[in-house]
Amino acid sequence: MDPYVLNKKRAFYMAIHLNIYTQFIGVNTISVLAGVMMQSVDPGMSLYSNLLLNGIRIPPTILATFYIGTKLGRRTLYLISGVLIGLSLYMTAIGYLVNNTTLIVTFIYAYMVSFSLFYTPVNYSYPTEITPPDKITFANIYNQAFLAMSLFFPPIII
């Protein structure tokens, strides 16, 4: 098989896996259910938590897309985001286990900033660059299917 065709095929599968991974790291769940998460921590803060969490995503995303993404490269951003997002999620879970409001709130916001600053440029630019034009619709179908799963299953489980 032609190596060029094989690399295009691998790139296509990487675009699908990147979209699936994005849905499993929980950004949509946290974006939508931040009010529910904060209700158990601080009921007074739960009303505005969705607005604040989603509002702080915009400036880091703009900075990352136009400056950081071009300076560091996608691979570096992807590796940094994996470490920071994972650490933020673990520390948030520890905050819930020890019932520490400050730890929970700090690392939920750290999660959103690190996701926006390091992962968002990779998530939006890489699949569109490597997916062949005739396969873009197929990759978008996978992305939307896993987006629906990440938004519908947590409320059912809760």
Report all structural domains of the chain as residue ranges with CATH numbers, in order of start. Answer: 3-157 (1.20.1250.20)
pLDDT 10s digits, 26-75: 777 777 777 787 887 777 777 777 778 878 888 888 888 778 777 887 77
- Cα 133 to chain centroid, rounded: 24
Q: Are 93 and 107 in contact (CB under 8 A)?
A: no
- With a pLDDT cut of 70, the percent of the chain lying above it is 74
Rounded distance, CA 89 to CA 26, Å? 9
Residue type, 92: T
Rounded distance, CA 74 to CA 85, Å? 16
Q: Are 118 and 76 in contact (CB under 8 A)?
A: no
Rounded distance, CA 139 to CA 133, Å? 10
Q: Are 91 and 111 in contact (CB under 8 A)?
A: no
* pLDDT exceeds 50 at position 143: yes
